[in-house]
Structure 1
Amino acid sequence: MTEVGAPFAYPHLRSTDMFQPTQPLLGVVGTLMRSGSLFRAAARAALVLGSLSLARASGLAQMVGPSTPGAISGTVADPTSAVIPNASIHVEHAGDPAVTAFSDGLGHFRVSGLAPGVYDVTAQAPGFQIGSAHDVRVSAGSTAQITLTLAIATEQQQVEVNADALDTSPDKNGGAIVMKGEDLRSLSDDPDELSQQLQAIAGGDPDTGGTQFYVDGFSAGKLPPKSSIREIHINQNPFSAQYDSLGWGRIEILTKPGTDNLHGDYWMQGNNSPWNAPNPFVESQPPYYSYQFDGDVNGPIKKVASWFLSVYGHNGINSSVINAETLDPAFNPVLYTAAINSPSGALNLSPRYDMQWGKVQTLSLRYQYNRNTTDAAGVGQFALESQAYDTHNVQQLIQFSDSQAYNPHLLNETRFQYTRERDTLTPHSKDPTIAVQGAFTGGGSNSGLNHDNQDHYEFQDLLRINKGAHDVTFGGRLRIGRDANYSTGNFNGQYTFASLTAYQITEKGRANGMTGAEIRAAGGGAALFSQTAGNPSVTVTTLDLGIFAEDNWKANKDLTLSYGMRYETQTNINDHADFGPRLGLAWSIPGANGKPPRAVIRGGAGIFYERFDSNAILQARRQNGITNREIVISNPDFYPNTCTSDPADCAAVRQKAPTIYQINPGLRSPYSITTNLGVDKPIGKYVSVSANYQITRGNYQFMTRNINAPLPGTYNPDDPTSGTRPLGTDQNIYEYNSQGEWFGQRLNINGNLHTKHSGIFGFYRIGKIEANTDGLNTFPSNQYDPHQDYGRASWDVRNRAFIGGYTRLPWHFSVNPFLMIRSSQPFNITLGEDINGDTQFNDRPTFATDLSRSSVVHTKWGTFDTDPQPGQKIIPINYGTGPGVFIANLRLSRTFNFGPALPEPPAPPGAAAAATKDGKPAAPATPSPSTAKKEIERKYTFGLGVSAQNILNHPNYAPPVGVLGSSLFGTSTALANMWGNSSANRSINVETFFRF
């Protein structure tokens, strides 16, 4: 059940900058206790998590066993003393099998249970040479302390890709993209643009679960500043039972911990309108600009803790371009273009603290404050200046994690996140909204005044047991959300006109003193009027729980099997038991005559569920006919009055039953069944390729239906009171249900190319997706036959390609390219009219059979009849094909190193042993050419750079207008701005940075 709260005082909604997690949490607890089913769900969740904790405690008691004779602990770091997390540690003793462990987020490790003796310890991590410590003596009951320093891999070691690198581990799938170091330089430094770029790279479409962001293992939340990002993992381990969604589209952000020495960097970037290529849809633009800064500083706190602080800021003016068709003072249709400046600002502050607590425990605490403001948002394309509104958003979060490595085979991690978000949206005008299909949207914004207070709590507990050939992980995630929303959306009312011609006739008639009935008789008049009134305040509380267990079993050196099960449930719907099995395998093809494996064959399958969105729950509770009443009137004759401005005009219709939203009692959680077959293969020394073929089917997908719309064939558009409705009343009932479906298949090809001075990575995808829904807010064109809309999905882009990377040039120059290519995107061709009485303007024309009819329209996509006749075939959904996209970005930078020289890295592993082989000194090693010419590393680095977005100035157009009644039909009215500066077709940024 969902709680509908009492109206809360307006001032309470303005406390946007106070961090008060206690009061919302008490409100959630109170709601759980007042709501029977919600309380029972929470009790079940607590019972399950408590059982897991008891089982874990019992397991630990058995596995940890008695105290160990001795131990080795230490830190793994690079030559600059920056710690290296997740390094693989191997401890060897003559005659005994090696013991393996991993460094934690602070670079610390500990290996216990060692018998007294002498050990050799090695550590390795991607991008570094292997580091080692020999003859480490362990005494009974004591701990030997060591530091392992890993030198940066030489260029040859760093870039080679060979068959030895093939791995059958599920998280080493070749279809994954791992970006760190210089790879990150090709991405935008703006968090919003970075988010959009990562989504484009991940390619997360609805049929793959969309795009999901995880920051240090937590869902939701804003992206951290780029300076605080250590690594980005994309599409890794797609069939893991740990995650609720398919991994094709999962983006995992790992932030940086502190280091053993004081380090920092600062970056600033600026853009100014004279440097850019103008937007082709407007003749002149007012000046605009933007500047951004990003910096961090970090260091140690004694020997057991570290800190990291990052700050990001943005300020600027964006130019939004209006490209619409309106009426001049003489009521003649004219094209209207204008550029409207929209100031915006952002601030992101994120400190982090990590601490080694005792011998087995690591604690991490991270806080993030994010504030974004925008003035005159909501303007552009068809939306005129009067549609503008201002936004103010503040999000704060606290993340806490506790990692406990009881021994090299047992790791437990407990996580908690609290997110507090406060949003305010204030429209510039309270006039009724005027929406003219395919032409413009004027009047005031129908979003209304909006204050949204959200509080989210996330609890996770993961236990990993590595024993022999099995790597078992199980755990759970509990999320509780509370949304207190104040909205006057559509309180101002909205008029919808089917065409600009109807609006023109209406305005001319009003100027000539004609009545509403006379205007309609002349072919004018609005097609629809809607207005909402009532209580603007609604509060919703939600809870969802996910529990999983999985095992990665290395059956032999060539075969790894992964299998797991996930259970999910949530409140507010009646579907409470969703089981998602997961299966994967990886088999390495053995090489001939004892050579390394030639390739790895991977397969996987799984069932993945989607949660019901809290925004829909809010809408259902608000628009239930009691909290709020929405009046929807077809063919109103009282334009431009509203039920508020002139109650007499609405006196008769106030008796009309309100339009309501409701959740179908039988609504189910949508799920997709996905199978995958792929191969990972190295080609030579520098290239690796991965190919994956997927088949996905989605069942019980969300959509919305008007379940009391007029039955097909009974409605006459000229008589809004006509039509036979199944419930016997003229009430519109919008119901959320799960009658959608889709089916897709695609081929993904990923590649990596590395040479001595360059690295390039990218992918190519070809696929086909068919569906009858675009998501929860999709209405079918035929409310009684959703399958009529089954066809090409709106996101069915057949071909996509992405290339990114870096190139190191002489004299300390470097280049970072970024290329995104996308083939044509479909768009829907509609009439712009409601011809079946369901209050939706998504009806499509038919293929013309009699070309002599005046309702026939000739287009480059076919010849259509805008007045469908019995027996004619309706054109398929998304029948139009829009333009493709080609975007090439480039960054060029130059660094200057100065200051004291950094200490030389230690000798490569084995050098010390070779120097004392047989007890005699060995001859000094002859340096390789690359070593002899190696440049001395300095303490300080200063850099200058310039970057260009869409450097070729290629115009990328948005999908065309799809309303047949519009004079703009078939033409694009805006740029397809996938990310970046929407003010310009090409933008140039200059930057400077400093590191120490």
Structure 2
Amino acid sequence: MTLLLASGSAKAQLSAGSVTGIVRDPTGSVVAKASVTLRNVDTMVQHTTVSNDAGNYVFLSLGPGRYALEASASGFATKRVAEFVLAVNQTASIDISLQVGSQSDVVTISAETEQLDVSSADLGTVIATKQVNDLPLNGRNFTQLLSLTPGVAPVSVAQNAMGGRAGGFGAPISVGSAFIFPAVNGQTNRSNFFLTDGLNNFGSFQSTYSVPPIVDAIQEFKVVSHTDSAQFGSVLGGVVNVVTKSGTNDYHGTAWEYVRNTAFDARNTFLPKVTPFRQNQFGASFGGPVWIPKLYHGRNKTFFYFAYQGFRYTQDNDSLLKVPTAAQLAGDESSFPTQIYNPFSTRPDPANPGKFIRDPFPGNQIPSNLLDSRMVAFVQGVLPPAGPVLDSVGDNAIDTTPNHQTQNEYNVRIDQNFGQKNTVFFRYSAINSLLTTSGGLPGLVKQGSIPGRNWGASYVHTFNSSLVLQVQYARTTNQDNSATLFTHPPANLDTTVGFSSSFVGGFAAAGGHSLIPSPGINGYASGGENITNVPKATDSHQVSGNLTKIVRNHTLTLGGGFTTNRFESPLSYASLSFAGGQTGNPQNPNEPGDPLASFLLNVPDGANRRNVHETTRLGGLMSLFIQDSWKATSKLAFNFGLRYDRTFIPPYGTNATIGQQGGIETGDVDFSNGTYVVQKLPPPCTVRGFAPCIPGDGTLPAHVVVDPRGKIAHDTLTNLGPRVGFAYRLGNRTVLRGAAGIVYDDWAAVSQMAQNIEGAWPDIGQLIANNLNRPSTTSATPTTSAQDPFAGGGSGLFPAPTPFNQVQWFYDPHIKNPYSMQWNFGVERELNSSTTVDVNYVGSGSRRLNVGGYYNTALTPGPGDSQARAPFPYIAPTFYDRSIGNGNYNALQVEVNKRYSHGLAYQVAYTYSKSIDEGSSGWFGVEGQSLTDPYNVAGSRGPSGFDLRHTLSVNMLYQIPVGRGMRFSTKNSVLDYIVGNWQVNNIFTARSGVPFNVFYGASDLANTGNVSWAQYDRANLVGDPHSGSCPNGSAVGSVNCIFNTSAFAAPAQFTFGDSGRDAFRSPSFWNLDTSIFRQFPFWGEGRRIEFRAEAFNIFNTVILGTPGNDISNLSSFGKANGTANSARQLQLGAKIIF
């Protein structure tokens, strides 16, 4: 009988467990109206109920912990069930058989059945308190433990793969910690949800937690997926629910410090030395009953728990950079391995209509009259001078800007019991993180702050033994404010280079002043000034409730909730990008051109300007559900549920931002009919005098309409998700389980999608230009310079006459929530009183997945004007998100779990799986994207970017059995104290390599109008990439030859390549983290001092990372430029436990 008191969304009270069973007499008949009492061993809080006419009893909404059970009835002896442990999200099924006798007679038995879940078919693994506290964690970030769960792929293709630890709308991550942002059971990295104590702790923009829990304040946590309960939903992947510690009747606490520094670590293979750094992590926790002398003693009623953690990190930066040499800046490009060409000589090829030809630069020497002195001044002003070559990839400069982080975290929890009918808890969590780090170049410094708050309360009222009400409220906020500025900016750079004020000036966040743009030379160091303030990266309120009624052997739950979602962010920056295509041979892809030569000739490939105050109106999620958990027999349980989700996509802009760049007066393309939809109509430019405005007299251009609703997105109204599951007990040691259901994703990337149309026409807050200076039938030679890439001049920008030549991050106005049909079937077997093995087949079919990237490109590759071959020739190709993707996941998952007993605990999690999707494994065309043809999405079907065929995780806690009370004793108390109390802990992980593509990225070789960096034009496969040696003489598998580069060739012009999407794999991965403890007991039971030594990658194994996969980037193709793991790191710690 599964009951997890919860809200109507993924923010369910997942921490709530329950205890259920049937009371019987010696003949096996049910006993009605038996009195059953459940007592929390640590707080002495007890609850009493009576069995109903079917003999069933249920205790609801229980926190994880130690419990004891007692049952009595007239004419029967009292039966006591000895202490047992209830885990997070667990339904413990304990049947009680009463014996004839007096109630004063007491019979005590052990709780033998709570290991097996005989009530539901959820997939999930509980990570217990001792694992959380004792396993080695680099930087003490709990997400590392997510990989201990079957079905978790600890790789990420998402924009937030590192958690935003240095900013960028990120969660507050400690710089020196290991952070995992996984894919769960074949769903995208963003498709997970984070809860603390069952309350929303989700960072709605970055799709991870908003406030990280302090490890020493964690009671335990669980990752739940593929559930048969309709109380859970809103995400396709896993729900990560962390339960914090609460106080007990005894005062307990800890104090700790962990230290890392340069002397402890090994050198990374790709660096000349260990970068000097210092890291300290310290804190304390304390909890117990609330006691106010002479006023109040909360024993058995009121409990508190407080935790604080500080983090200090300083690293002396030694980042290697590649910058142009003095000879290169003078026009000597002779070191470039292939011929470069003069873009100003581009002309139609008379022998091949639709193609172009160019003249080569003899000896790869650019004539001085073609060198743009302004660009030389630009690069000399922002990049450091070149020094001697420092490594095999040509790095010749060093950035020594130090990194600093100061972080403080707090957690306070209060639990109150008002008798047996009313309980409430309140928790407040906060973090403040200050960062100073390099902006990518010497002298370019990024300073930021990432504060977060998460607090809430839960109230449970028990009307009687069969009716329970729960209500919840949670508040979650997260900010990410940063400024990246040159400490000593080059004097008068704007005027020296000649940048127009409409490109680099007038930034609101900079007080109307200019910012230095990033030069963006592909293959070289880059960085520019930007100001990113995100006062509302997450801004949500959660209100939810549910009512549970027990009717004989049915547990019926009806619930619902609403969680708000809002976003705000002023952004200011400008950037340029230079590619090789402008100086390459337009008829020979093996001569891809040199980005540096394109820069020196002042022929940019792209530009970006954002000067917006992003805002959204109120959005959110409303959910309703009904659930019936039916215990059909003592061996068979069913779960039936139905859930409805309604996502309110936050409409972009507010009325308060009318007339401001980035406000409500913006628009979006609807490619279903070729129209441009404006949210709110601004006045004519002649009236307002500045953007946003309608050019001319205010008459709308053809194909432009205004949405009368004042918003773009049309919410999906049909998200109904049925659930069904069963659990069947075969004897006392085996359970068969199965479940199926449909779940919808209501959170992944919703906030980011809402703000993507920021500053679009008739506004000018966001300007994007791609594929500049590419030869076309209208202009064969370059027409755009870096000084004024948007042709705005010095008098300011107004919107273009029509919206159809802009490039923006548009989305389908009728975009729908992704959904997944999920199923699983398995068997769990109890091997002994502490060990179980669980084997499951897990499958899913996901639909309406996001497919992004460029759209309205040419329908087919070919010569001539690509835009003329597009579905809507009057609309320029642009980014466009559609909910048309499909995905499938199939897996065998095996878990062996031994609970801690006799000094040993271990978990083994193995997954054999295959995850497939179409063209994208994430969002917006930048997460696992490789869509060759936007009109044939199925043609880019292949392994997901996070597909790992094999994953294995083994963790172990082992107390060495030497010393007093152990198997091996010296029989001498002094010697036992000296040699005893040692513990060893390990986490071993192994997994297959990560998928990747091989593509041609120098130019739009197929001539469809797509952006070349999108990996859309994959290379031709002409040989075996896994054997032989590379042309440079290196053997396959070595640093400079991960795969045989001769096995690939650039596709012919006007064609797509034939190699498959994600058809190749990086090297396989394995790692062992180990810790060893020595404990010194003092002053009685439960008090000890603990010294720890932890080693991460203890054998210092080098696992090469994903190699360079752009066949046109000759300097990096096929070479590893880093490792998939860190070199060995050591962490020392000390802890006082009392």
> Under a length normalisation based on structure 2, what TM-score does the superposition of the two structures give?
0.66
Which of residues 608, 620, 624 is equivalent to 1:543? 620
**Unaligned ranges ≥5, structure 1:** 1-47, 50-68, 517-524, 591-595, 902-937, 978-983
1:943 matched to 2:1090? yes
Query: In structure 2, what is the Cα distance between the partners aligned to 1:294 and 1:373?
Result: 18
Q: Which residue of 2 aligns with 1:195?
A: 143
Q: Using the TM superposition, give the Cα deviation of residue 245 of structure 1 relative to its aligned residue in structure 2, in angstroms.
A: 5.1
1:812 matched to 2:1009? no
Q: Using the TM superposition, give the Cα deviation of residue 878 of structure 1 relative to its aligned residue in structure 2, in angstroms.
A: 1.6
Q: Which residue of 2 aligns with 1:929?
A: none
Change (3 A) 1:102 1:71: same
Change (3 A) 1:339 1:84: farther
Q: Using the TM superposition, give the Cα deviation of residue 111 of structure 1 relative to its aligned residue in structure 2, in angstroms.
A: 12
Change (3 A) 1:231 1:113: closer
Count of paired positions: 829
Query: In structure 2, what is the Cα distance between the partners aligned to 1:889 and 1:320?
Result: 26
The one-letter code matched in structure 1 to 2:638 is L
1:748 matched to 2:890? no
Query: In structure 2, what is the Cα distance between the partners aligned to 1:507 and 1:840?
Result: 17
Which of residues 991, 1002, 1017 is equivalent to 1:833? 1002
Q: Using the TM superposition, give the Cα deviation of residue 325 of structure 1 relative to its aligned residue in structure 2, in angstroms.
A: 4.8
Q: Which residue of 2 aligns with 1:371?
A: 432
Query: In structure 1, what is the Cα distance between the partners aligned to 2:129 and 2:395?
Result: 49
SS of structure 2 residue aligned to 1:497:
coil
Q: Which residue of 2 aligns with 1:169?
A: 119
Q: Which residue of 2 aligns with 1:614?
A: 751
Query: In structure 2, what is the Cα distance between the partners aligned to 1:508 and 1:208?
Result: 42
Q: Deviations over 1:390-433 (max 9, x none)?
A: 32111112211101123333322111001122220212354322
Which of residues 791, 801, 810 is equivalent to 1:662? 810
The one-letter code matched in structure 2 to 1:178 is V
1:735 matched to 2:885? no
The answer (yes or no) to whether the contact 2:536–2:568 under 8 Å persists in 1 is yes
Q: Which residue of 2 aligns with 1:896?
A: 1080
1:843 matched to 2:1024? no
1:315 matched to 2:312? yes
SS of structure 1 residue aligned to 2:414:
strand
Q: Which residue of 2 aligns with 1:711?
A: 859
SS of structure 1 residue aligned to 2:146:
helix
Range that drifts further, 476-485 or 537-546: 537-546
Query: In structure 2, what is the Cα distance between the partners aligned to 1:667 and 1:311?
Result: 43
The one-letter code matched in structure 2 to 1:557 is S
Q: Using the TM superposition, give the Cα deviation of residue 359 of structure 1 relative to its aligned residue in structure 2, in angstroms.
A: 3.8
Q: Which residue of 1 aligns with 2:423?
A: 362
The one-letter code matched in structure 2 to 1:295 is A
1:433 matched to 2:578? no
SS of structure 1 residue aligned to 2:717:
coil
1:821 matched to 2:990? yes
SS of structure 2 residue aligned to 1:195:
helix
Q: Deviations over 1:733-790 (max 9, x none)?
A: 4332101111121111111246622111020011111111222212633232222221
Query: In structure 1, what is the Cα distance between the partners aligned to 2:55 and 2:904?
Result: 39
The answer (yes or no) to whether the contact 1:845–1:864 under 8 Å persists in 2 is no
1:76 matched to 2:245? no
1:262 matched to 2:226? no
Q: Summarize the alignment of residues 566-581 of structure 1 with structure 2, pairs less than 5 Å apart.
A: 566-572=643-649, 573-581=714-722
The answer (yes or no) to whether the contact 1:670–1:701 under 8 Å persists in 2 is yes
Query: In structure 1, what is the Cα distance between the partners aligned to 2:730 and 2:633?
Result: 12
1:408 matched to 2:465? yes
Q: Summarize the alignment of residues 590-739 of structure 1 with structure 2, pairs less than 5 Å apart.
A: 590=731, 596-597=732-733, 599-611=734-746, 613-626=750-763, 628-636=765-773, 637=782, 638-643=784-789, 647=793, 657-683=805-831, 687-714=835-862, 723-729=868-874, 731-739=876-884
The answer (yes or no) to whether the contact 1:71–1:110 under 8 Å persists in 2 is no
Q: Which residue of 2 aligns with 1:181?
A: 129
Change (3 A) 1:993 1:339: farther
SS of structure 2 residue aligned to 1:583:
strand
Q: Which residue of 2 aligns with 1:882?
A: 1066
The one-letter code matched in structure 1 to 2:194 is F
The answer (yes or no) to whether the contact 2:862–2:1054 under 8 Å persists in 1 is no
Q: Deviations over 1:798-838 (max 9, x none)?
A: 11011112111121111111111111111121211341212
The answer (yes or no) to whether the contact 2:307–2:412 under 8 Å persists in 1 is yes
**Unaligned ranges ≥5, structure 2:** 1-7, 10-32, 87-91, 153-181, 203-209, 291-296, 329-334, 337-393, 487-514, 585-591, 650-713, 774-781, 963-979, 1025-1030, 1033-1040
Q: Percent identity?
A: 17
The answer (yes or no) to whether the contact 1:322–1:338 under 8 Å persists in 2 is yes
1:342 matched to 2:429? no
Q: Deviations over 1:591-621 (max 9, x none)?
A: xxxxx34x22211111111126111101124
The answer (yes or no) to whether the contact 1:92–1:119 under 8 Å persists in 2 is no
Q: Which residue of 2 aligns with 1:993?
A: 1135
Query: In structure 2, what is the Cα distance between the partners aligned to 1:187 and 1:850?
Result: 45
Q: Deviations over 1:826-883 (max 9, x none)?
A: 11212113412123522324426799xxxx9996266333242567752111222112
The one-letter code matched in structure 1 to 2:822 is T
SS of structure 2 residue aligned to 1:712:
coil
The answer (yes or no) to whether the contact 2:568–2:614 under 8 Å persists in 1 is yes
Name the Cα RMSD after superposition. Answer: 4.3
Query: In structure 2, what is the Cα distance between the partners aligned to 1:614 and 1:994?
Result: 43
Query: In structure 2, what is the Cα distance between the partners aligned to 1:635 and 1:107?
Result: 63
Query: In structure 1, what is the Cα distance between the partners aligned to 2:793 and 2:988?
Result: 57
The one-letter code matched in structure 1 to 2:772 is N
Query: In structure 1, what is the Cα distance between the partners aligned to 2:481 and 2:923?
Result: 24
The answer (yes or no) to whether the contact 1:668–1:738 under 8 Å persists in 2 is yes
The one-letter code matched in structure 1 to 2:183 is D
Q: Summarize the alignment of residues 917-928 of structure 1 with structure 2, pairs less than 5 Å apart.
A: none
Q: Which residue of 2 aligns with 1:492?
A: 574
Which of residues 745, 767, 779 is equivalent to 2:913? 767
Q: Which residue of 1 aligns with 2:80?
A: 122
SS of structure 1 residue aligned to 2:141:
helix
The one-letter code matched in structure 2 to 1:958 is G
Q: Using the TM superposition, give the Cα deviation of residue 317 of structure 1 relative to its aligned residue in structure 2, in angstroms.
A: 2.2
Q: Which residue of 2 aligns with 1:563?
A: 640
The answer (yes or no) to whether the contact 2:399–2:442 under 8 Å persists in 1 is no
Q: Deviations over 1:370-401 (max 9, x none)?
A: 1122211665xxxx557763321111122111
Change (3 A) 1:735 1:898: same
1:961 matched to 2:961? no
Change (3 A) 1:312 1:84: farther
Q: Deviations over 1:706-752 (max 9, x none)?
A: 33323323565xx7x86433333253443321011111211111112
Query: In structure 2, what is the Cα distance between the partners aligned to 1:848 and 1:76?
Result: 65
Change (3 A) 1:552 1:694: same
Q: Which residue of 2 aligns with 1:5?
A: none
Which of residues 776, 797, 814 is equivalent to 2:923? 776
Change (3 A) 1:640 1:254: same
Query: In structure 1, what is the Cα distance between the partners aligned to 2:274 and 2:947?
Result: 34
Query: In structure 2, what is the Cα distance between the partners aligned to 1:945 and 1:349?
Result: 24
The answer (yes or no) to whether the contact 1:452–1:486 under 8 Å persists in 2 is no
The one-letter code matched in structure 2 to 1:316 is Y
Change (3 A) 1:557 1:111: closer
The answer (yes or no) to whether the contact 2:1017–2:1057 under 8 Å persists in 1 is no
Q: Which residue of 1 aligns with 2:324?
A: 327
SS of structure 2 residue aligned to 1:435:
coil
Query: In structure 2, what is the Cα distance between the partners aligned to 1:123 and 1:102?
Result: 18
Which structure is higher in strand share? 1
Change (3 A) 1:673 1:92: closer
SS of structure 1 residue aligned to 2:250:
coil
Q: Using the TM superposition, give the Cα deviation of residue 104 of structure 1 relative to its aligned residue in structure 2, in angstroms.
A: 4.5
Query: In structure 2, what is the Cα distance between the partners aligned to 1:995 and 1:850?
Result: 61
Query: In structure 2, what is the Cα distance between the partners aligned to 1:108 and 1:686?
Result: 16
Q: Which residue of 1 aligns with 2:449?
A: 392
The one-letter code matched in structure 2 to 1:281 is F
1:481 matched to 2:439? no
Q: Using the TM superposition, give the Cα deviation of residue 639 of structure 1 relative to its aligned residue in structure 2, in angstroms.
A: 4.7
Which of residues 236, 241, 244 is equivalent to 1:252? 241
Q: Using the TM superposition, give the Cα deviation of residue 212 of structure 1 relative to its aligned residue in structure 2, in angstroms.
A: 2.5
